[in-house]
């Protein structure tokens, strides 16, 4: 065996342990996952597998107040306007997906329902292509029902948590309009509804009843109008009648079912 061969064999013998160490490390060290960086503070990463995606628990419905879906799309995708929704449904039923369902879209603003504030952080926002003065197109409603069924099934959203923009911001927002078919949605499990006759109300305290359903009652006139818009297709701000209080009491019971 010549000297060149001897040197080659010696080099191989020296290299083999290093190769084995590298192979062993590859088998025993878990792959490193880099965490997204949000803070400028120095920190040592120790990624944990113990987490899950945030789950939306509400659906908030809006009407666009525009006359065409393209106008709304330009608004909802304009970075200068800082307004968005997860979905837009056009009059012809076309469904537009705009924001990741697990991300926080900017559609509800300063809002409140049943003790939950900042509905943007807990909801899916859906814009409906409607100017607020017209009936809601049938292809749009059919597409909406399919979408709501999908969202409810995947996220297990309670029936009582399908709401209107006007419900969560009484006074400042009035969408969707009084022409929206809430009863039809509720019959499919997207909202609560009661038909007369109702059992007599045991309370005459409007604020107590409206708050029990979920409304913000700091502006009672606006809240009464929001309640009536959703359940009675009118927007009167007058004190509730005994029959309306009975309706409210029925809705509260349905919400708790």
Give the C-alpha separation, 67 to 197, whole Å: 39
Chain center to CA of 225: 24
- Of 127, 138, 142, 244, the catalytic one is 127
Active site residue 244: no
Per-residue burial over 163-197, b if 16 or more Cβ lie within 10 Å, else e, is bbbbbbbbeebbbbbbebbbeebbeeebbbbbeee
Quick one: the chain helix, strand, coil %, rounded to 5? 40, 10, 50
The Cβ-side half-sphere exposure at 56, using a 13 Å CA radius, reads 25
Give the C-alpha separation, 163 to 113, whole Å: 9
Q: Which of 222, 221, 223, 204 is nearest to 213 (CA)?
A: 223
> Catalytic residue numbers?
127
């Amino acid at each position: 065996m010549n000297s060149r061969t001897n040197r080659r064999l010696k080099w191989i013998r020296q290299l083999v342990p290093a190769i084995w160490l590298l192979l062993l490390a590859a088998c025993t060290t878990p792959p490193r996952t880099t965490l997204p960086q949000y803070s400028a503070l120095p920190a040592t990463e120790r990624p944990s597998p113990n987490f899950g995606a945030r789950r939306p628990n509400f659906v908030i419905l809006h009407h666009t107040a525009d006359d065409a879906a393209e106008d709304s799309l330009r608004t909802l995708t304009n970075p200068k306007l800082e307004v968005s929704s997860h979905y837009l449904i056009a009059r012809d039923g076309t469904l537009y997906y705009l924001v990741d369902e697990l991300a926080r879209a900017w559609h509800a603003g300063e809002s409140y329902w049943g003790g939950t504030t900042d509905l943007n952080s807990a909801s899916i926002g859906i814009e409906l292509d409607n100017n607020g003065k017209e009936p809601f197109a049938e292809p749009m409603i059919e597409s909406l029902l399919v979408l709501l069924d999908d969202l409810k099934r995947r996220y297990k959203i309670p029936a009582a948590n399908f709401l209107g923009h006007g419900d969560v911001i009484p006074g400042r927002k009035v969408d969707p309009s009084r022409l929206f078919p809430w009863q039809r949605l509720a019959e499919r499990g997207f909202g609560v509804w009661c038909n007369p006759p109702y059992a007599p109300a045991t309370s005459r305290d409007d604020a107590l009843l409206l708050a029990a359903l979920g409304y913000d009652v700091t502006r009672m006139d606006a809240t009464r109008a929001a309640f009536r818009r959703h359940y009675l297709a009118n927007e009167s701000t007058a004190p509730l009648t005994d029959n309306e209080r009975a309706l409210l009491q029925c809705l509260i019971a349905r919400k708790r079912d």
